[in-house]
Amino acid sequence: MSDWDEPLEEDGLTLGPEEALQREIEKSKSLKVDRLRLRDEIEKLKFEKADLAQKQQQ
């Protein structure tokens, strides 16, 4: 692939290596935050499920 064949970024601009790397780092950080948030949500739902199961048995 030559320099002229490189695909454009989402906003239609071709980024330099530093900008592309920075964008990937930001995406990675965002995904990590989402992952942690989802883990917390899963733990909360597991606790609620166990609590409901216990109440149902009573």
- What value does the mean pLDDT of the chain take? 86
CA distance 39 to 45: 10
Token pair in block for residue 5: 């064949």
Residue 10 has pLDDT above 90, yes or no: no
Q: What pLDDT is attached to residue 9?
A: 56
The domain ranges of the chain are 14-57
The model scores a pTM over 0.75: no
Query: What is the model's pLDDT at position 16?
Result: 86
* Confidence bin at 5 (pLDDT 50/70/90): low
